[in-house]
């Protein structure tokens, strides 16, 4: 069983597209569901935590896997 409900891969896209795609996807999700966001834009290291803080979503984890950034975001209430 995976630790996320939905995944989007924004590899190759630069700011602000990963944040915008995450926002759109999270808007269609239910509270407490989890999104795995995959990015290659290094700006996401600052942008995604700031986005989560501003929108009331919870950044559960961030890690680099095979040169890509993986974020697990839990939709807030």
User: What would the pLDDT profile of 27-62 be if each residue is shown by its tens digit?
Assistant: 999 999 999 999 999 999 999 999 999 999 999 999
Whether the Cβ atoms of residue 61 and residue 71 lie closer than 8 Å to each other: yes
Confidence of residue 68 (pLDDT cuts 50, 70, 90): very high
The residue with tokens 């935590």 is: 49
pLDDT on residue 1: 53
pLDDT on residue 44: 96
Which residues are designated catalytic? Answer: 15
Whether the Cβ atoms of residue 9 and residue 38 lie closer than 8 Å to each other: yes
Predicted TM-score (pTM) of the model is 0.95
């Amino acid at each position: 069983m995976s630790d996320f409900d939905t995944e989007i891969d924004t590899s190759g896209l630069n700011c602000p597209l990963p944040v915008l795609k995450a926002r759109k996807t999270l808007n269609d999700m239910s509270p407490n569901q989890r999104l795995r966001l995959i990015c290659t834009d290094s700006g996401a290291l600052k942008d995604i935590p700031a986005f989560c803080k501003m929108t009331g979503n919870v950044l559960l984890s961030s890690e680099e896997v095979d040169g890509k950034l993986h974020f697990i975001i839990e939709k807030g209430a």
